[in-house]
Amino acid sequence: MEKFSMGAYDIVVVGAGHAGCEAGLAAARMGRKTLLLSINLEAVAMMACNPSIGGTGKGHLVREIDALGGQMGLNIDKTFIQSRMLNTAKGPAVHSLRAQADKNQYHIEMKKTLEAEENLDLKQGEVIDILIEDGKACGVVLKTGACYKTSAVILATGTFLAGKIFIGGNAYDSGPAGLAPSMELAEKLRAYGLPMRRFKTGTPARALAKSLDYQKMIVQEGDAEIVPFSFMNDDLQKDQVKCWLTYTNEKTHEVIRANFHRSALFGGQIEGVGPRYCPSIEDKVNRFADKKRHQLFIEPEGLYTDEMYIQGMSSSLPEDVQEEFYQTIEGLEHLKIVRPAYAIEYDCIDPLDLKLNLENRHIENLFCAGQFNGSSGYEEAAAQGLMAGINAVCKINGKKSFILDRSEAYIGVLIDDLVTKGTNEPYRIMTSRAEYRLVLRQDNADLRLTERGFEIGLVKKDRYDKFLEKKKIVEQETNRLAKKILKPEAVNSFLEAKGSTPLKNAAPLLEVLRRPEITYDNTAEIDDERPVLSRHQKTMMEVQIKYEGYIEKQRQQIEKFKRLEDKKLSADFHYDEIEGLRIEARQKLNQFKPLSVGQASRISGVSPADINVLLIYLEKIRRKGRDS
């Protein structure tokens, strides 16, 4: 193969999916000359599966990406066609924003953003090799023979590496959505000794809109008040599309059971491990045999297409079986399939081979992000891409890595889970994974992270000024509410009308607002001095006031967590020297080289007793050093 030099970049990002886009933008916005390569420019920010952004846990990630200066929140605010806040019947810690996207517009807007970004070049090209010298990544080679030298490489290959699609008994090499797979790079990474594995995911069929009977389904409207993802947007007004809900039935399940033998999943063709929390319909019918029905949502793929996404019905059954079981469902009796459902298998790395900054443990300057790290979902990918881009710049600049811990962000939970605990299946973020979720809410992501984003140079001045103004206004209004005294005779009729207990003595408006039945908006009836606040400002202030006691308890828990995180461990620490550590603990600690006692405590195979032994050993060293 003829090879030729095409110049040099500070950072080269391989793959322009949701991880690659955030990585490329972050690196360029932090001042580094960046090349973003995509196997096909139609794959830029492609929504190969669900045409939506956000959802339970995932909405938190999008807000955090936005607070740090990332692009996903801004992009979905431009291109959504329906918006809903999920879990509103529960507390604010689990409220999660989800928006249905016009998938083509989402791709177009992100591509325009990349093309307009200073310091960033977007090019189509398939990377077939990573150049490594003296154990360091230093360039990439394209299928055309073009070679680019670089100081850091970020791998964000998604599901393209050795991609293989399964539909019934038929299988063929392919990337998602029929795009070409990346076969040669997959072979090279294995040859370099990276610990690769096979994972699987899938997508449901797309149906022709006019072939569906919407009268037989339950309409799902968007929220009347649209809540933006980005903290840069205060209000959004848009006509929203409808989605629909329907259910499988016993006839559907009979058709699927009768064809288990034709499924690639049960036929043994698929080697990869699939996502536990997003199983195929045949897997659902098999695993939950007692369930009489499973819900599915019919969602438009965009404003300028008649394709409808059938959420909850991914499958690897043959096309004829797909059509048969889909048509047993109410509203889908005359369904016409535009694109069949399929399963896709792909190569990814064992994330235990990564550091907390997402750099490979064995190949210096090689950073990894997204589904290549064993995660699933656009939002998880984008969060890792953002952090990989930031940390690649930090490495080149000789600066300390930018690490978010579990008490600071869902991004911290996501990355810590992957690189410390590992995963044996495609990883999905959930609110239940975050121990400190009352503090890690959607509404306060900017309060937690924008200052830090500004310090590293990713958050620009306009965003930072807007954040400071919001923070100032919330503090001023909270103080005003604490000073405004309400007299019983002036407010008791209002309180009784809201189903609240009347006051016996005068009380601050702040205390009245703590009551669950009283909201900041309805206190306008008894407070004629209140200023005009934006939605973001009101939400953050009200949650802080109402849940102050619970938040304080969680902050105390975080302080305990921080004490273990603050006990740093050297990378050249020799755990074999510590008497009392179990053999497995020594092996794991020597293998992973944790940065702190806190991280050591989360490594599989390291018990609480091992941590106590480690703490005693560290205390002996501290005392010995003090005495000497």
326 neighbors 178 (Cβ within 8 angstroms): no
**Which pLDDT score, from 0 to 100, does residue 133 have?**
97
Same domain, residue pair 571 and 550: no
Same domain, residue pair 153 and 273: yes
Same domain, residue pair 548 and 582: no
Pairing of strands 164-167, 307-314: unpaired
Q: Which residues of the chain have pLDDT under 50?
A: 628
Pairing of strands 34-38, 120-124: parallel
Asked whether residue 294 is assigned to any structural domain, the reply reads yes
Asked whether residue 578 is assigned to any structural domain, the reply reads yes
Predicted confidence (pLDDT) per residue in 398-456, tens digit: 999 999 999 999 999 999 999 999 999 999 999 999 999 999 999 999 999 999 999 99
Q: Which string of b and e fits 290-325 if b means at least 16 CB within 10 Å? A: eeeebebbbbbbbeeeebbbbbbbbbbbbbebbbbb
Same domain, residue pair 604 and 547: no
Asked whether residue 458 is assigned to any structural domain, the reply reads no
Asked whether residue 363 is assigned to any structural domain, the reply reads yes
**Which pLDDT score, from 0 to 100, does residue 441 have?**
95
Same domain, residue pair 327 and 288: yes
Calculate the alpha carbon distances from 300 to 42, 84, 106, 210 in Å: 20, 15, 14, 12
159 neighbors 371 (Cβ within 8 angstroms): yes
| CA torsion, ordered 492, 496, 498, 501, to nearest 10 deg | 80
Asked whether residue 457 is assigned to any structural domain, the reply reads no
- Residues with Cβ within 8 Å of residue 608, at least 6 apart in sequence: 601
Query: Which CATH number fits the domain that encloses residue 589?
Result: 1.10.150.570
Place of tokens 């050297």: 570
- From 9, 38, 39, 34, select the one nearest 139 (Cα to Cα): 9
Same domain, residue pair 513 and 571: no
Q: How many domains does the chain have?
A: 3
Tell me, yes or no, if the pTM score tops 0.75: yes
Q: Give the amino acid at 387.
A: M
Query: Which CATH number fits the domain that encloses residue 481?
Result: 1.10.10.1800
Same domain, residue pair 238 and 154: yes
Q: Which domain holds residue 498?
A: 474-554
Same domain, residue pair 505 and 439: no
**Which pLDDT score, from 0 to 100, does residue 296 have?**
96
Same domain, residue pair 359 and 487: no
Same domain, residue pair 579 and 435: no
Same domain, residue pair 252 and 365: yes
Same domain, residue pair 591 and 538: no
Calculate the alpha carbon distances from 608 to 559, 597, 600, 613 in Å: 19, 11, 10, 9
Distance from C-alpha of 624 to C-alpha of 303, rounded to nearest angstrom: 70
**Which pLDDT score, from 0 to 100, does residue 627 have?**
59
